[in-house]
């Protein structure tokens, strides 16, 4: 079997917040008619540069056409050389590598007639407990709307929430107080997510203030790649500390500094199944836990996250992939399913990823390429109120 073509279809889909996100659906074509599908999820991140999708498609074609798709290790290594680590969260290169890697795994699974779970060694669970994100309240006036999100999502079965915090501690405390008063023990706040916006000392002060409201852990409470500051923060709180994994060098430094308790691993930020499995193994060897992170993927990318999480023996914290619930539309024939706050792993009896793309939806949502236009930095950070 040989790869004959690589195609990228960019779709633009709004979130319920009004922010518009763009994703690339990857097709890896072969001479035997088997097509592998991947997702390069949510390119709408800082830094605010855009990838030329036609140039990227041509680059991938030049590299991959004629290759054996079963050469997963060799192709992943070449992709890592073409799109190397930069020690930066939201690096677009990992998004690209992730989409190709998911598509190759989907293709190989289809060719062998097995689910990707089989390629990863099977499953140890069929569902993942997940949390719904509450986007950052920059003013006190935004608190009411965020409490209303909790109210509506709780009615749908989501009882755990992740709070983006730190920009306005008064608003954060007002939100947590309102949640405690209205919902009591029916609602759990999984984490305070500072998104690297604060230095570790400021994050520590804010955490001491908000900790009494019953949060379970703290995420990204220091500037990016400040491993010493991250450790200082960890030593100053009783809560577990989590950080995203976006490169193997960064992962090595977090282990060396003993900076975190839980590694936040998302396929999109580390570059796909193979890279994510290495990161999870490193976490397990170093005695650290794992949660499955997210950039808020569509259903196809979320299904990949679920399959990865289902394979882990050290998944010991509530995870984050609820992207399909945030968007007003999707590209699969059937969305991933959530029940009682759990993400259900796609059925194991379907080859590949086990999800099908609705190409009529793709055509309807298609745009020419990636572009962020005049959206403000705060909107890009918080994924809200596109302008």
Distance in angstroms (rounded) separating the CA atoms of residues 267 and 280: 11
Q: Is residue 205 annotated as involved in ligand binding? A: no
Distance in angstroms (rounded) separating the CA atoms of residues 345 and 136: 29
Bridge pairing between strands 342-344 and 338-339? antiparallel
Distance in angstroms (rounded) separating the CA atoms of residues 90 and 237: 27
Distance in angstroms (rounded) separating the CA atoms of residues 91 and 351: 30
**Distances 120 to 56, 132, 192, 307, 314 between C-alpha atoms, Å:** 28, 27, 31, 9, 15
Q: List the beta strands (DSSP E) in the chain.
A: 3-14, 20-30, 36-40, 127-129, 132-134, 160-164, 188-193, 217-219, 241-244, 262-265, 289-292, 338-339, 342-344
Q: Is residue 77 annotated as involved in ligand binding? A: no
DSSP string, 114-138: -BHHHHTT--S-SEEEB-EEE---S
Q: Is residue 244 annotated as involved in ligand binding? A: yes
> Which structure tokens are listed for 90?
């939201």
Backbone angles phi, psi at 59, to 5 degrees: -65, -45
Distance in angstroms (rounded) separating the CA atoms of residues 228 and 122: 37
Q: Is residue 126 annotated as involved in ligand binding? A: no
Q: Is residue 194 annotated as involved in ligand binding? A: no
> Which structure tokens are listed for 266?
């998302």
Q: Is residue 349 annotated as involved in ligand binding? A: no
Q: Is residue 89 annotated as involved in ligand binding? A: yes
Which residues are annotated as catalytic?
Answer: 90, 164
> Which structure tokens are listed for 15?
């979130």
Q: Is residue 295 annotated as involved in ligand binding? A: yes
Residues making up the binding site for Mg(2+): 42, 45, 193, 219, 244, 295
Residues making up the binding site for substrate: 15, 89, 294, 383
């Amino acid at each position: 079997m040989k790869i004959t073509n690589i195609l990228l279809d960019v779709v633009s889909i709004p979130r319920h917040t009004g922010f518009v996100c763009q994703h690339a659906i990857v097709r890896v074509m072969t001479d035997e008619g088997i097509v592998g599908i991947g997702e390069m999820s949510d390119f709408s991140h800082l830094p605010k540069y855009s990838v030329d999708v036609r140039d990227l498609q041509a680059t991938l074609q030049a590299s991959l056409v004629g290759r054996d798709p079963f050469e997963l290790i060799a192709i992943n290594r070449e992709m890592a050389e073409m799109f190397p680590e930069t020690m930066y969260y939201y690096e677009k290169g990992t998004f690209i590598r992730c989409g190709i890697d998911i598509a190759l795994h989907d293709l190989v699974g289809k060719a062998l007639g097995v689910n990707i779970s089989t390629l990863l060694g099977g499953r140890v669970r069929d569902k993942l407990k997940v949390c719904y994100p509450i986007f950052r309240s920059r003013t006190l006036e935004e608190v009411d709307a965020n409490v209303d999100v909790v109210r509506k999502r709780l009615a749908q079965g989501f009882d755990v929430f992740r709070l983006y915090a730190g920009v306005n501690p008064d608003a954060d405390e007002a939100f947590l107080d309102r949640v405690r008063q209205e919902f009591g023990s029916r609602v759990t706040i999984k984490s305070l997510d500072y998104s690297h916006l604060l230095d570790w000392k400021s994050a520590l002060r804010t955490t001491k203030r908000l900790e009494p409201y019953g949060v379970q852990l703290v995420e990204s409470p220091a500037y990016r790649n400040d491993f010493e500051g991250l450790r200082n923060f960890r030593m100053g709180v009783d809560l577990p500390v989590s950080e995203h994994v976006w490169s193997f060098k960064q992962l090595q430094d977090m282990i060396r500094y003993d900076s975190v308790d839980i590694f936040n691993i998302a396929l999109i930020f580390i570059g796909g199944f193979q890279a994510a499995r290495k990161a999870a193994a490193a976490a397990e060897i170093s005695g650290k836990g794992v949660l499955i992170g997210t950039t808020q993927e569509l259903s196809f990318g979320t299904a990949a996250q679920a399959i990865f999480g289902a394979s882990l023996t050290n998944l010991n914290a509530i995870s984050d992939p609820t992207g399909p619930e945030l968007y007003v539309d999707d590209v699969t024939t059937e969305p991933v399913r959530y029940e009682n706050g759990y993400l259900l792993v796609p059925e194991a009896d379907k080859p590949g990823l086990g999800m099908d793309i609705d190409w009529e939806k793709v055509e309807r949502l298609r745009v020419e390429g990636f572009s962020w236009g005049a959206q403000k930095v705060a909107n890009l950070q918080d994924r809200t109120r596109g302008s």
